[in-house]
Amino acid sequence: MAPAKISKATKRSPVRRTPISEISPDEQIVGAPLVGKVRDYNARRREMTLRLEEPLSTGNALRVKGRDTDLSQRVERLCIGKHCVQSAMPGETVSVSVADRVRAGDAVYKVRSS
């Protein structure tokens, strides 16, 4: 009988944090953790794609801030690939449904809901 193979845990590379110098003063929100920057916006499906720098889950309040954008809403639908999930960890690329148009490069923050 052959010995069982032991699988090594895959090493994840550390999540690259967006330097504060890459976020314009108009896009900054003091005291709110930066979730990530919008990578893409699909107008037909009304969802934005971003790579997470902070954990995110359904029900969190988000604020998307950019040069022409200022949108606040709750996360109602969170998908990784084609699978909808309840939460996602830093380093994962996710799609989030949005109520209004956002632009690539907009900063996304996790804020307290009021």
pLDDT per residue over 54-73, tens digit each? 999 999 999 999 888 899 99
> From CA 28, how far away is CA 20, in angstroms rounded?
9
Kindly give, in sequence order, each residue whose CB lies less than 8 Å from that of residue 106, ignoring residues fewer than 6 positions away: 27, 37, 38, 64, 65, 66, 69
Instruction: Give 81's contacts (C-beta < 8 A, 6+ positions apart).
Output: none
pTM for this prediction: 0.74
Which structural domains are found in the chain, ordered by start?
32-111 (2.40.30.10)
What is the structure's pLDDT at 30? 66
Q: What are the residue ranges in the chain where pLDDT is below 70?
A: 1-30, 113-114
